[in-house]
Structure 1
C-alpha cells in the first residue's frame, strides 16, 4: 500500500545495547541507550527513565511498519546489555545495566505480547541466582515437557554480588556461570557442568539448535574469541563441547 507524500513514517529513535525478539509476524524491541547521550537519565530510576522504559517498539514484519506501544506493569531498568528469550507469547528479559556507574541487575522479567504487561519473576538481589551482570546470553529450552531459561556468562561487578556459583570462574568482572530458571517453580538452579566449559566471557552469541541443545560463538574474555561450543542440557546437568 502506497503512502501519501506528506504522511509521516514512524521510526524508533537511535539506540544501542538493546535486543529484538520475533514473535509470529512481529518484531519487538525494548530498551537500549536511546537518542543523544544527553537524553539518557544517568540514574537508577526517575520519571523520565520510567517513561522511556514503559514503551515497546513493534515492527510488523510483512509490511516493515514500526509503531510504538505503551505497556502496563513495572518494567525492568536494566536497559543496556540485557539478555532476552521468548517462550510462546512471552518475552523474558534478564539482567542488564542501568547505564550509570556500574549498576548491574540479575532480575528476570516477563513481557506478554498479547496484554503488553510486564511481570517481575525474580528481583535484583545479591543473595541468590546469577551474578548481577550485563552482556550475558539467555535461551529458552524444554526438558521433559517443562520450560526453562538458561543464562550463561556476562560481565558485572565483583563487589556486592551473589555468592559464587560452584564450579564457575570469575575474572576481571567476567564469569562463566551457567544458571537455569525453572518457570514452573520460579527457581534458579545450578546444574552440574561437564566437558569443555567456556572461560569467563561476555558479548557472545548463544543460539538454540533443538529444545535441549545450543551453540555458543565468539565473545570477549582475556581476548576476542572465535571459539565454538555446543551445549546439551538436561534438568540437572550441562555437557559442553568445544568444537573449534
Structure 2
C-alpha cells in the first residue's frame, strides 16, 4: 500500500533522514520505533507532504505522492494524527470532528454516518460532544485527535506518538482502540517510543536511529533482538 524508497530529508544543513526505505502492506499495522530526534516524525511528515523530501520516492497504491500537496494526499486516504494531539481547544468535541471531515464536506450523509462510527470507538467523546475540547483530560484529547483523523476516512492512518504523556491504563485503552480500527480495515503506520505497547500490536517493526533504519523484521524478530531489548524494552 505504501512504499518509501531511499527517502532523504534535510533541515538546512541537518540531515534528518539519510535514506529511509520501508513498506506497509494493506491491512497491516507497521510500527516505527526510535528515540527522540531519530527521524520518526519527519518520516510521517514527509509522507503527508508537510516536509518536502530532498531525495527518494514515496508511493501510495502504486502512485507517487512525493510532489502532491498535503490536501491532495489526504484526499487519497493518507491521513495523519500528529504528535501532541493538536486539537482545536476552543471548539467543542463535535466541532473538532467536523473539522476532521472538512475535505469530505460535499458528502454530508456519509459524514453523519461516520459520527456514529467514531462515537462507537470513543463513547466517552459522545458523552462530551458539546464540551469544549480544551477542558478534556489528556487521554480524552488523544482520543479526540484520533477520532478527528478517522473523520477524514483514512485508508492508511499515520499515528505519531499516540501514547505520549498518558497514564499506562489510558495507553492500554488507546492501543486497544488502534487495534479495533485496524480490524475494521484501516491500515496503520504507527510511530512510537513506547516500544513494549507498539510492538505488541505490530505486524512488522522498523527501528530508526539518527535518520537510518537500523533494524527491521516481524515483531517476534525485533523483540528478540538483544540490542532492542537493552535500548527500548529495558531488558
TM-score w.r.t. length of structure 2: 0.29
RCO higher in 1 or 2 (8 Å CA, sep ≥ 6)?
Answer: 2
- Which protein has the larger Cα radius of gyration, Structure 1 or Structure 2? 1
Give the structure with the higher percent helix. 2
TM-score w.r.t. length of structure 1: 0.29
